[in-house]
Amino acid sequence: MEDLEKQETKIEEDKKENEINGYINNPFSTKDIKITPITMALPSLINKLKYDEIDLNPDFQRHGDLWSPTNMSRLIESILLKLPLPIFYFDVSNPDKWIVVDGLQRLSTIKKFMVDKKLKLKNLEFLEELDGKSYDDLDRGFYRIFENTQIVTYQIEAQTPKKVRYSIFNRLNTGGMPLNAQEIRQALNQQAKGVRFLIECAESDVFRNIVSVPAKRMLDRELVLRFMSFKLSPNATNEFPFNNMGEFLDEAMEKLDNITDDEKLKELRNNLFETLEFSEKILGEKHRFSRSIGKTEKTNTLNRSLFDVLTVCLSEINDKEKFILKKDNFKNKLSKLLQDESSDFSRAITEGTSGKGAIEKRFEIMKELVEEVINENW
């Protein structure tokens, strides 16, 4: 078997839910939606690309270079054949930097051919005489076609509430793999302090060495955000304030953005790092917040709900040195809980885990377990 330390940690999926689906089903008024259809001349769009007024490399998005040279060439050929292009969707809440909701590959292709001039056409279906040519090699007649091309855009306006834009992002994004919940949070908060803070924590040596979850799809940042959410709303472990985890995490993003005291952020960051190091002293190295804790046969599958309930509850222990002396007892009790798949705790970390009931239940049981170990006589 491959050494566990060399394996990439996987994320255990919830058996009965999808966080995004649970979130976007929350009703909102159609009056909240402000999407304006605007037809733009292609040169206007090219100017925005030229002056970097459209973000083609948003941290939340898939890469903008997934198309092959043939696919890119066929798009340029479609424009030259005067064929209508699919609609482009933008979030224009920041007029200086539009966010691409749908159309990233098409825009990246247009920029590569007409702005960067790094694409040579190949494998064209109808305009075979243009094979091997770059933008500067074209005749004036083709330039006129570009100048007269109209692009249909739908622009999500700034007054559209963030919660509504979250839903719109998920419903409209069709490029490759749909965005997950954390990627959409990132999309709506790209330049905010909270995003930078999550990145800093997730890319730290402490987090990478202990949690070791892949950065792709922003799963690492979601885990950091889960911990911070409960630290910013301590009573949420007793009475969860929302119907689902998604809304709770969204609120936490806004709270992080609004923290003006750098010392407060430093305190939160240090709390996370100290808790992760403490978890290794209690549960052993490379435990990965997996349900295999306590088993001889380890797995590299991290359980997000086990991560949030363990890190938050362990962080609240005052006398950590004394608790370390009782670590074997805690680990054995936790292992029994995890091995009983029919227990309330197991269900609360595997089924419907983002729901209010499951969140309150797993914290209730974990806090009771921690308290029981603390109060045990020697």
| pLDDT exceeds cutoff 80 at 352 | yes
In percent, the amount of the chain with pLDDT more than 90 equals: 62
The number of domains in the chain is 2
pTM score of the predicted model: 0.71
The reported pLDDT for the residue numbered 61 is 52
Mean pLDDT of 265-291: 92
Which SS3 state, helix, strand or coil, does residue 337 take? helix
How many other C-beta atoms are found inside a 10 Å radius of the C-beta of residue 182? 25
Same domain, 268 and 126: no
Cα–Cα distance, 262 to 260 (Å, whole number): 6
Mean pLDDT of 65-70: 83
CB of 331 closer than 8 Å to CB of 292: no
* Residue for token pair 């709506």: 188
In a domain, 164, yes or no: no
Same domain, 246 and 196: yes
The reported pLDDT for the residue numbered 92 is 92
Same domain, 121 and 183: no
* β pairing state of 10-11 and 301-302: parallel
In a domain, 126, yes or no: yes
Residue 4 pLDDT grade (very low, low, confident, very high; cuts 50, 70, 90): very low
Query: Which of 24-33, 89-98, 185-194 shows the highest mean pLDDT?
Result: 89-98
Residue 255 pLDDT grade (very low, low, confident, very high; cuts 50, 70, 90): very high
Same domain, 150 and 219: no
Question: How many residues does the structure list for the chain?
Answer: 378
Q: For residue 375, which amino acid is it?
A: N
In a domain, 174, yes or no: no
In a domain, 123, yes or no: yes
Residue 20 pLDDT grade (very low, low, confident, very high; cuts 50, 70, 90): very low
Considering only CA atoms, which of 324, 293, 193, 304 is closest in space to residue 252? 193
In a domain, 166, yes or no: no
Cα–Cα distance, 360 to 38 (Å, whole number): 46
Choose one of 108, 131, 159: the last residue of a domain: 159
Q: What is the pLDDT of residues 83-127, one digit of tens each?
A: 999 999 998 988 999 988 888 889 999 999 999 999 999 999 999
Same domain, 233 and 328: yes
Same domain, 213 and 356: yes
Among the ranges given (8-12, 46-50, 114-118), the one the predictor scored with the smallest mean pLDDT: 8-12
Same domain, 59 and 10: no
Cα–Cα distance, 112 to 109 (Å, whole number): 5
Cα–Cα distance, 219 to 180 (Å, whole number): 9
Mean pLDDT of 265-294: 91
| pLDDT exceeds cutoff 90 at 15 | no
Q: What's the Cα-to-Cα distance from 245 to each of 46, 116, 240, 249, rounded to whole Å?
A: 40, 43, 9, 6
Mean pLDDT of 160-181: 67
Same domain, 95 and 205: no
Judging by beta carbons within 10 Å of its beta carbon (0-12, 13-18, 19+), is residue 220 exposed, middle or buried? Answer: buried
CB of 330 closer than 8 Å to CB of 370: yes
Same domain, 252 and 364: yes
Q: For residue 132, which amino acid is it?
A: G
Same domain, 225 and 351: yes
Beta-bridge partners for 102: 89
Same domain, 242 and 360: yes
* Residue for token pair 């054995």: 332
Structure-model confidence comparison of residues 325 and 9, the more confident one: 325
Which residues have CB under 8 Å from 132's CB, separation 6+? 120, 121, 122
Same domain, 119 and 198: no
Residue-range definition of the domain harbouring residue 342: 4-23+179-375
In a domain, 346, yes or no: yes
In a domain, 170, yes or no: no
In a domain, 187, yes or no: yes
